[in-house]
Amino acid sequence: EFILSHQTLREVASNIPDFLLLIVLTLTVYSWASYFFLSSKGKRSRQTRFAQLCGVSMPAAYLIKSVLQSAFGRVNPKVWLTHHELSGLHWFPAQSLGYGFPSGHMTVFATLAVALCFIYPEHKKIYLVALVLLGVALVVTNYHFLSDVIFGAYLGLLVGYLADCALMAISGSYRQAYYSAEAANTR
């Protein structure tokens, strides 16, 4: 009611989902550009590893959430508030009704948080607080049900972890090179 009663808040809240693809594309391009730039300079650092992990995991998270949203076909709360008959899951619906399960924002940003935790673990509490605030904002603004946010967070954590494992499997020296470079820098 508070958000709906203030025109500015209502406009800001209604534009949140419109930017997710743009955010993912921008961060992915920036991550790969950073990775190739740093790699061309022969740098094996936290920044190089972070850029590579983000470049792989964020678009993967976006694609996986898109497939799952299309498969589950669960409407978001805004659609549900006007069409109660659409509650529940609608497996592989023929038309888009405003998919909400899982939360794409939570999936993508939880994946980013995993990358940050792996590379910059000294700030884990900040990443957790940011994810909780994002989850609360998504539920309070009626973009997602709580279950959408919880599953999106879990999915993002899983995608981030699996992306890290895949990078380690592809390049056995993935973490080893990072840690040996960090050890050399601290000597």
Whether 1 shows a pLDDT value over 80: the answer reads no
Indicate the pTM of the whole model: 0.75
Q: What pLDDT does 187 receive?
A: 43
R_g of the chain computed on alpha carbons: 19
Q: What average pLDDT does the segment 99-114 reach?
A: 88
Mean pLDDT score, 25-48: 89
Note the pLDDT tens digit of each residue in 75-90.
Answer: 666 654 555 455 555 5
Cα(6)–Cα(3) distance, integer angstroms:
6
HEC assignment per residue over 116-162:
HHHHCHHHHHHHHHHHHHHHHHHHHCCCCCHHHHHHHHHHHHHHHHH
